[in-house]
Amino acid sequence: MESLASVVLAAGKGTRMKSGLIKVLHPVAGVPMIAWPVAAARDAGSDPVVLVIGHQANAVQAVFRGAPDIRCAMQEEQLGTGHAVACALEALNGFRGTVLILCGDTPLLRSETLKTMLSFHRDNKAAITVLTALMDDPYGYGRIVRDPSGRVIRIVEQKDADPEEQEIREINSGIYCMDSDFLFANIRGIGNDNAQGEYYLTDLLALAVRKGLPCLALATADADEIMGINDRVQLAEAARILRRRINQGHMLNGVTIIDPDATYIDHGVTIGTDTVIHPGCQIGTGTVIGSGCEIEQGVSISGCRIGDDCHIKAASVLEDSELSEDVAIGPMAHLRPGTLLGSHVKIGNFVETKKIVMGEGSKASHLTYLGDAEIGRNVNIGCGTITCNYDGVKKHRTVIGDDVFIGSDVQLVAPVSVGRNSLVAAGTTVTTDVPPDSLAISRVPQINKEGWRLKKK
Ligand code: UD1
Ligand code: CA
């Protein structure tokens, strides 16, 4: 296989985003925008991938920290796309083969398209191949100028185009394949005598034509793919298209999505067959959901592993938690980080959990807070139970053995334990450890004053 390197341009600020965050770091379907073109380049077989960075360089580098195939090249001042590519030369030192040039703001680009373009470029032994698209509204893009015989002769930017050139509907995607020898020998030869006073990468094409080298333009079938994000309207549009692709992937894998336009599944989520997802759900990157689950409307899940046949009822929020099989959650439950639930566990409405382990078959059906607790199997936690885990300074643990029955309205003042098979009576405040097989009860004895209401009147 011929070698392939990529250069991804990402030094610009993205002024039109009107943001404190640079454009390429805005998340699209759960991952920073720049991760998308980088993934496409890798999938196409590129190694290394050189990122040209400038604004917020450290934050961009952090996205790919530890990745052996990523190299970064600094562009201190943004003098144009041609200058940006020149900055990448040092990082490509010693490389020979094809160089793919991409922009960091094209999250919709597919690796299949890059592969097609690469074969086309290599089969024709071109010096430069540019990916183009036909646009109904080409405004803002560079236009592909062809001679009467149809050969590409140059690219003219919007701001430099005469009225006739502005009529051209074939636009430059900003994505190119170049022969490394040609690129290295000529990139420093381009000037900046144009409307923006910038070094235009696009001028390389005219330069190759002047030298009589083969230059080609390949039109994409799907103009969406090369959409460059410049503002937040386009950001939302790109996210919508990516979500649709992601949802289609899951549906084709056997997941039922009731309303794909109203289902927000990030990149990097795994879902088993016959799972049903209702509208308004938000599922974050890294989540794994088993098969045969039902996720009701308005559920938010991030960083979770969910086993088979679980039922997550409406409006529940699940964060960094693990559920075994056949677990029922909600409606309106909140699993906070570190919640580990065994099979057949039930967590009902208005229950909040945090850092707990709950054994097989245990239930907390209503209005409860369970934090920093270890709960055994077949435990019943009554309505209104509270683990009092915080004394204002430190967090303390509650341990509840197997087969325990906790009545309603119980407070467990941690650190405290309830031994296996014990019963804690309703209304009890547990402050000392309960031995196994016992009854714990702490209540003020009840007095009935007969006729008291009648005397008051
Ligand atoms: C560029 C092309 C245009 C094409 C369009 C496709 C040029 C001169 N024009 O225009 O023909 O239709 O892309 O979207 O190449 N960047 C740097 N350093 C710089 C300048 C830019 O890293 O000095 C990066 C930006 O961060 C961005 C990318 O290069 O990711 C493209 O730059 P941008 O200013 O958006 O180029 P366009 O004007 O859109
Ligand atoms: Ca752009």
- pLDDT tens digits for range 419-447: 999 999 999 999 999 999 999 999 999 99
- Closest ligand 1 atom to residue 23 Cα is 26
Q: Using the atom order of ligand 1, give the atom closest to the CA of residue 173.
A: 6
Average pLDDT over residues 387-407: 97
User: What gap in Å lies between CA 290 and CA 197, rounded to an integer?
Assistant: 56
Q: Residue 136: helix, strand or coil by DSSP?
A: coil
Residue whose CB lies within 8 A of the most ligand 1 atoms, among 103, 187, 198, 225, for a mutation test: 103
Would you state the pLDDT for residue 54?
A: 97
The per-residue pLDDT for 59 is 97
Of the candidates 235, 241, 263, which has an alpha carbon nearest to the alpha carbon of residue 251? 263
Averaged pLDDT for residues 256-283: 98
Which residues have CB under 6 Å of ligand 1?
9-12, 52, 75, 78-81, 83-84, 103-105, 141-142, 155, 157, 171-174, 200-202, 228
Distance in angstroms (rounded) separating the CA atoms of residues 356 and 387? 11
Residue with tokens 């906070």: 336
Q: What percent of the chain has pLDDT over 70?
A: 100
What's the start-to-end Cα distance of the chain, in Å? 98
Q: How many helices (H) and strands (E) does the chain have?
A: 9, 37
Looking at the chain, the whole-number percentage of residues with pLDDT higher than 90 is: 98
Q: Is the peptide bond before 415 cis (omega within 30 degrees of 0)?
A: yes
Q: Could you give the domains of the chain?
A: 4-226 (3.90.550.10), 255-440 (2.160.10.10)
Distance CA 248, CA 118 (A): 27
pTM: 0.92
Structure tokens at 196: 């923006």
| 171 CA closest ligand 1 atom index | 12
Residue whose token pair is 């065994």: 342
- Report the distance separating Cα 175 and Cα 144, nearest Å: 13
